[in-house]
Amino acid sequence: MNQNNVKGITLIALVVTIVILLILAAISINVIIGEDGIINQTKLTKVKQNHAEVSDQIQVIAADYYGKRVMEQEEGLIDYLKNKEIIDDNKVINVEKLLSMELSTGNGTNKKDTYVLEKVENEDEAIEEIYDIIYYDENGRPEKIGNLKDM
């Protein structure tokens, strides 16, 4: 009996298939967890969303301050924020107090994973003080996310 008509998969076809699957797996893993992968992009988007929430909410509180200031406030914006316990003496923003919830950013100390108000040099006499809202990441690198003007 002749064995030449036997149908089946050859060892070479199996190895080629495995190599192709390994290449596809490596590409997929890189797309998911690589430097510009889906997971890192998601984390970056979350951080940007957190920055926007902090910046927007502090702007809302500043607008509330200016509205009340016309009527009754005599203290400055920074004192107002300190009295509401939104910032401390070092002008570090208490994110949990500001937003009434904890975020994945802004929970650190010593200019690492914190939001801080930093005074900017100002030559405009109509504006008393300008503060940049700075986020310091886990490595202490600053990123400006907005500003406040104390009028």
| pLDDT tens figures, 65-93 | 877 766 665 678 888 899 989 999 999 99
Is residue 37 a part of any domain in this protein? Answer: no
Structural domain containing residue 73: 49-150
Is residue 106 a part of any domain in this protein? Answer: yes
Please compute Rg for the chain using Cα positions.
28
The whole-number pLDDT of residue 115 equals 92
In the chain, the N- to C-terminal Cα span, in Å, equals: 100
Is residue 20 a part of any domain in this protein? Answer: no
The domain tally of the chain equals 1
Is residue 40 a part of any domain in this protein? Answer: no
Is residue 87 a part of any domain in this protein? Answer: yes
Residue 57 contacts residue 103 (beta carbons within 8 Å): no
Is residue 36 a part of any domain in this protein? Answer: no
The pTM (predicted TM-score) of the whole model is 0.71
Is residue 1 a part of any domain in this protein? Answer: no
> Tens place of pLDDT for every residue, the chain, 151 residues?
455 666 777 899 999 999 999 999 999 999 998 888 899 899 889 999 999 999 999 989 888 887 776 666 567 888 889 998 999 999 999 999 999 888 888 888 878 889 999 988 877 666 677 889 999 998 999 999 988 875 4
